[in-house]
Amino acid sequence: MQIKIFALEKQHVIFKDLGIINYKDAWDYQEELLKKNLEIKSEARKAENLEPSAPDSYQDNLHQISTINYLLFCEHPSVYTLGKSGHIENVLLSEREMAEKEVEFFRTNRGGDITFHGLQQLVGYPILDLEKFKTGVSRYLHDLEEVIILTIAEYGIKGDRSKGETGVWIDPEKPGVERKICAMGIRCSRWITMHGFALNVNTDLSYFNNIIPCGIANKKVTSIEKELGHKVDLEEVKEKVKMNFEKVFHATLN
């Protein structure tokens, strides 16, 4: 009996490194890209006279939909961001104190609770059409975690998942020493994603002392620098994340 093996077509993803950019500017840019993709999907449905209630027909015509996938990298000046289901009491600073420390604050439309973004932290924002990747939100988050787990493994750091909690952790099964190295929070609209992950590379972790990170009390945060005892090249980390993103998502970045 002859067995036929079909290789899945690699998805094309446009990569952009935005450098150091204010949080709001990056957020606005993501919203712009997401909106354009939603408009493309809407027009495609109209052209094919397809209704949202016909997923099989829609899947068959995905090749005709010209949504554009992106992976954005950036660093943000110091900022705290609160997810749509987050609790403001997890912010331990007043507005005045944040102003004194020159730290911005935003309530966002991503999932998750409170987190910190700062320099030497690699923030990744994938704007992906999950229907083209034939995956759902849970699997997407799992794959994002896998990208980071593979990346930090190249530095000899064993990353893992913590049951019921998103992101990448170290020693999640060891109470008292578990620590998060990468936070994640996304938004998904009609299968188009935005927001993403924040990997602590050489990040100043003292800023996390002013919040209850991700709303999880009594658990610490860490960075590649802290785990290794020395700084690493952020540009090198970016290249490793890009390589592992291509591998996990079966994509081509350019």
What SS3 state is found at 86?
coil
The residue among 67, 186, 165, 170 whose CA lies nearest residue 123 is 186
Is 214 catalytic? The answer is: yes
Confidence of residue 7 (pLDDT cuts 50, 70, 90): low
Least confident of 120-129, 198-207, 213-222, 233-242: 213-222
Give dist(CA 112, CA 214) in Å, integer. Answer: 6
Write out the two tokens for 220: 């610490």
**pLDDT tens track for 129-152:** 999 999 999 999 999 999 999 999
Task: Tokens 């050489």: give the residue.
Answer: 202
Confidence of residue 6 (pLDDT cuts 50, 70, 90): very low
What is residue 161's predicted lDDT score, i.e. its pLDDT?
97
Our CA angle for 157, 140, 117, nearest 5°, is: 60
- CA 66 centroid distance within chain: 23
Task: Catalytic residue, from 74, 182, 188, 214: name it.
Answer: 214
What is residue 5's predicted lDDT score, i.e. its pLDDT?
44
Give dist(CA 214, CA 86) in Å, integer. Answer: 8
The residue among 13, 9, 10, 5 whose CA lies nearest residue 193 is 13
What is residue 14's predicted lDDT score, i.e. its pLDDT?
98
The mean of the pLDDT values for the chain is 91
State which amino acid sits at residue 114. Answer: I
Give dist(CA 215, CA 114) in Å, integer. Answer: 6
Better pLDDT: 202 or 58: 202
Better pLDDT: 111 or 54: 111
Instruction: Say what the pTM is.
Output: 0.91
Give dist(CA 61, CA 76) in Å, integer. Answer: 38
Four-point Cα dihedral 149, 249, 194, 205, nearest 10: 20
What is residue 216's predicted lDDT score, i.e. its pLDDT?
80
Question: Mean of the pLDDT values across residues 91-107?
Answer: 93
What is residue 214's predicted lDDT score, i.e. its pLDDT?
80
Give dist(CA 45, CA 33) in Å, integer. Answer: 19
